[in-house]
Amino acid sequence: MLMHPDIDPVALRLGPVAIHWYGLMYLVAFGLFMALALRRLRHEPYASLTQGEWGWQRRDVEDILFYGVLGVVIGGRLGYVLFYKPAYYFAHPAEIFAVWQGGMSFHGGLLGVLVAMAGFARMRQRPFLQVMDFIAPCVPPGLAAGRIGNFINGELWGRVADPSLPWAMVFRGAGSSARHPSQLYEFLLEGVLLFVLLWLYARRPRRLGEVSAAFLVGYGCLRFIAEFFREPDSFLGFLSLGLTMGQWLCIPMVLGGVALWVWAQRQPAPFVRAAAH
């Protein structure tokens, strides 16, 4: 049985300014996205020499990152407010903007990114799903960084585990019971594993929507599994059928991914650039 390391959530203090580890993890996430998206430009159809419908450039990546950051932050916060604590925030509306107090939702962030990417696609006159297929494989490493931030903060800990489990851990504020380090489980499942699978899958040309569908199904299934080891939010507990809020939010995500996959199979074969001679 291990003890969670008592890490100060503040990584650096510059006078009155405190820089938190979780904030640094957001910067890491955005940096990883930028680096991977630039590599993604080499994949078809984005690597096409044609500068018409399929022409993608570095400035597209920079704009996607800008709008994506807005979508993640605004959507993530509003998602937490509406999905997890609506009654509290309706009674204390000023605290909706107090993001430094914590409280972000992945599913809300996903909805925020969808809206942001819809705006980007319209401005660039690109198919929405082409944009989503582009960014999908670049997202999981950012999710992994966020879970490391959760672990450093000692938050979102796991359910009580058998003390004989070699990696069972006692978290400060969670009592004396050994628990699953569920943040690390999610780091490995939703971050590392999902990234490897999606990146390898997306390297070859795919039908429009296939990569996005794979992300929705993959994340939804892996998050659903990880939730079995994660302690549900104390103010919500277990919901219908003994599932957590995170699991219930994953169900429409998976169903939407399956529906998108079925739709994608009816689309034309993927574009492939002719080999240069």
CA–CA separation, 173 vs 179, rounded Å? 12
Checking if the pLDDT of 2 tops 50, the result is: yes
Please tell me which residue, 263 or 272, carries the higher pLDDT value.
263
Maximum C-alpha span of the chain = 67
Which residue has tokens 């969808």? 114
CA–CA separation, 225 vs 53, rounded Å? 39
Please tell me which residue, 69 or 56, carries the higher pLDDT value.
69
Domain contains 232: yes
Pick from 222, 206, 204, 218: which is nearest to 257 by CA?
Answer: 218
- The pLDDT value recorded for residue 274 is 43
Domain contains 143: yes
The domain tally of the chain equals: 1
Whether cis (ω within 30° of 0) applies to the bond prior to 166 is: no
**272 phi/psi in degrees, rounded to 5:** -130, 125
Domain contains 275: no
The model's confidence at residue 241, banded by pLDDT at 50, 70 and 90, is: very high
Exposed / middle / buried, residue 71 (Cβ in 10 Å: 0-12, 13-18, 19+): buried
Domain contains 112: yes
Q: Using the 8-state DSSP alphabet, how is residue 13 labeled?
A: E
**147 labelled ligand-binding:** yes
Domain contains 274: no
Domain contains 272: no
- Integer CA distances (angstroms), 162 to 1, 91, 168, in order: 9, 40, 7
pLDDT tens string 86-128 = 888 888 888 887 766 667 888 888 999 999 999 999 998 889 9
Checking if the pLDDT of 55 tops 80, the result is: no
Question: What mean pLDDT comes out for the span 1-12?
Answer: 87
Number of other residues whose CB lies within 10 A of the CB of residue 276: 5
The model's confidence at residue 49, banded by pLDDT at 50, 70 and 90, is: very low
CA dihedral sign of residues 223, 229, 233, 237: positive
What percent of the chain is predicted at pLDDT more than 90?
62
What percent of the chain is predicted at pLDDT more than 70?
94
- The pLDDT value recorded for residue 100 is 63
Question: What mean pLDDT comes out for the span 238-257?
Answer: 95
Domain contains 111: yes
Checking if the pLDDT of 158 tops 50, the result is: yes
Question: What mean pLDDT comes out for the span 64-86?
Answer: 91
Domain with 86 in it: 2-264
- The pLDDT value recorded for residue 277 is 31
Domain contains 269: no
Query: Looking at the whole model, is its pTM more than 0.75?
Result: yes
Checking if the pLDDT of 192 tops 90, the result is: yes
The model's confidence at residue 222, banded by pLDDT at 50, 70 and 90, is: very high
- Integer CA distances (angstroms), 226 to 81, 84, 187, 222, in order: 22, 18, 10, 6
